[in-house]
Amino acid sequence: MTILPEIRECVARAIEEDIGAGDRTTELCVPESARAEGKFFARQNLIVAGLELLPLIYEARGGVEWLEIRMHTGDRAAKGDCLAEVWGPARTLLTCERVALNFLQRLCGVATLASKYAGAVADTRCRVLDTRKTTPGLRRLEKFAAAAGGVVNHRMGLFDAILIKNNHIVAAGGVRRAVERVRNVPFPVEVEVRTRFELDEALACGASRLLLDNLTPAEAREWIQHIAGRAKVELSGGITLDNVRDYAETGADFVSVGAITHSAAAVDLNFRLKLL
């Protein structure tokens, strides 16, 4: 993970949100001189993501004496595995515990769900994409976690690709007018089509990538046969772990799944502290 300024800011906001003016309980109960060892354990099978944030979290509270990251992003951890170990002031370890766990549980959760989707389409020509349906302020981290789970990052935001969706088509006055307005732009261009008429119009305009939304696998297969390789095809809408394989086997190049980020459950992690 590249630690960009926005990631540092995200961590700083999380620390301010949780700690604010100070950790009242720890400051009153724990001697300032106390030193401790803490270990992060997986309490379920999971895909690792986000351990790179631990140094940022501890540095923001004065640092620790020693930190060992035992697993890497993308690794498979089994229940009971130790992900990381830290030594330092007991107050620091306690004060940072929840912020660290919140990040790790969320990011490992996204990576773990992404891995299930990636595994479900294994040995097909189709790749799974994530979407922009992310937690506000956490997009880069969640997309990093999705990639760790084996799916492909779609556009990061509205600024790095052109995706002409149904409401853009309505506002532009039709598929042809929308496509004509984006000719020769230095960005990837994709067009969502809802009807066979729009499909044929997009192909006639030279669209090289199409988004087919809310089709059944049987319908998607029929449309893809009609496209006959004239454009790359992405499928979206109603795609779940139960049916993603069916969609992948239609001949689509991609399936996009918003659930990877908007519905990933936090994994179960545990932080165990021992005085030194």
Catalytic residues: 98, 133, 165, 192, 213
Could you tell me which residues come within 8 angstroms of residue 188 by beta carbon, excluding any fewer than 6 positions away? 155, 161, 162, 209
Distance of alpha carbon 261 from alpha carbon 263, whole angstroms: 6
For residue 267, which phi and psi values (nearest 5 degrees)? -80, 165
Which amino acid is present at 129? L
Residue type, 263: S
Are 251 and 218 spatial neighbours (Cβ–Cβ below 8 Å)? no
In this structure, the dihedral spanned by the alpha carbons of residues 184, 187, 193 and 197, taken in order and rounded to 10 degrees, is: 10
Write the DSSP string, 155-174.
-SSTTS-EEE-HHHHHHHTS
